[in-house]
Amino acid sequence: MLRSTLLAAARSQGVRRLVEANPLTKPVVARFVAGTTPEDAVRATRALRDQNMYVTLDHLGEDTLLAQQAADTVHAYQQMLQALSAEGLADRAEVSVKLSAVGQFLPADGEKIALDNARLICEAAAAAGTTVTLDMEDHTTTDSTLGILRDLRVDFPWVGAVLQAYLHRTEQDCRDLAGEGSRVRLCKGAYSEPASVAYQDKAEVDRSYVRCLKILMEGDGYPMVASHDPRMVAIAADLAARSGRSADSYEFQMLFGIRAEEQKRIASEGNKLRVYVAYGDEWYGYFMRRLAERPANLVFFLRSLLSQ
């Protein structure tokens, strides 16, 4: 109930204005968002690199209905990729892209514009010597995103995608994407979805996550285990061992600011650990999804507002 209210608020412009206007929100946002500028993102990447971790950078933004805003997002990614290369960090950091930030929802030709824009980001990533992973948004975009993934992989076979274990369809999507060279980031799913397409019960989502993990680990692709759940992390390690995978044939991934000690532990035990680092001004939707994932975050947020 609380989760769906927060996820509805994540898409409300009225609540957005209220939350953004409150200066006391900023310090709480800083727990999950690495800053607003490319320099902030590079600084966070360097600090994680120094702890033997890898990074995927998300220039925040989503759901744009303006072609110019989509073009600006592409430009921001191009600049970021150049900066990573210039700083010698491109072997440690890739980028994550939301197709709705580069035009997927534009009323005329949105899908084609998103594909063309994503292609420009892939070209910049190729020039820098790194990779791109497509984030997955709500279920109405899944077919479109996987279609764009297929098109991009013709020229850039290393482009990866996120699959969400809460969707009923995802086991089949995992089978389709478990082939050689395929990079799949498996997460539980962060949006509010109806029972017609998604498991509603946490235990059911967890069971689906394990079934999907099994398919990916037994396949020939490169699984990216995106979860903070200690059970999922342990099961992933076990399935990888049973499938005869070496430590460099899959990786763990967590979000910036969440379970940082666990991130250090995983990386220190010889595993590859990548941190998803979000930066930029458009933090509202991302921040609200982080609040929705854990009631304690909301309590922390409200308490910090009330204690001022």
Cα angle at 213 between 52 and 104, to 5 degrees? 85
Q: How far is the CB of 284 from ligand FAD (least distance, A)?
A: 15
Task: Give the shortest CB-253-to-ligand FAD separation in angstroms.
Answer: 4
Q: Which residues does the annotation mark as catalytic?
A: 135, 185
Say how far apart CA 128 and CA 90 lie, in whole Å: 6
Residue labelled with tokens 């975050």: 297
Site string for ligand FAD, 56-95 (x = CB under 6 A): ----------------------------------------
Q: Which residue stretch of 116-124, 175-183, 184-192, 233-241 sits at the interface with ligand FAD (rule: CB under 6 A)?
A: 184-192
Among 67, 176, 258, 264, binds ligand FAD (CB under 6 A): 258
In the shown chain, the binding pattern of residues 88 to 117 toward ligand FAD, with x for contact by CB under 6 A and - for none, equals: ------------------------------
With 0-12 CB in 10 A as exposed, 13-18 as middle and 19+ as buried, what is 60? buried
For residue 95, give the nearest of 26, 8, 176, 159 by alpha carbon: 159
CB of 232 to ligand FAD, least distance (A): 6
Residues 265-284 close enough to bind ligand FAD by CB under 6 A: 276
Of residues 88 and 200, the one with the C-beta less far from ligand FAD = 200
Q: Which residue's entry shows tokens 């490319």?
A: 38
The single residue among 239, 254, 273, 278 that binds ligand FAD, judged by CB under 6 A, is: 254
Query: What are the residues whose beta carbons fall under 8 Å from the beta carbon of 199, sequence distance 6 or more?
Result: 166, 168, 205, 208
- Was 227 annotated as part of a binding site? yes
What six digits make up the tokens of 69? 């805003």
Can you tell me which of 74, 118, 255, 298 binds ligand FAD, judged by CB under 6 A? 255
Per CB under 6 A, does 226 bind ligand FAD?
Answer: yes
Nearer to ligand FAD, 32 or 156 (CB): 32
Angstrom distance (rounded) from CA 3 to CA 102 = 27
Q: Does 301 bind ligand FAD (CB under 6 A)?
A: no
Question: 249 labelled as ligand-binding?
Answer: no
The string over 145-171, giving b where at least 16 C-beta atoms fall within 10 Å of a residue's C-beta and e elsewhere, is bbebbeebbeebebbbbbbbbbbeebb
Q: How many Å apart are CA 181 and CA 285, to the nearest integer?
A: 32
In sequence order, what are the beta bridge partners of 178? none
> Residue numbers of the site for ligand FAD (CB under 6 A)?
135-136, 162, 164, 185, 187-191, 226-229, 232, 253-255, 258-259, 276, 290, 293-294, 297
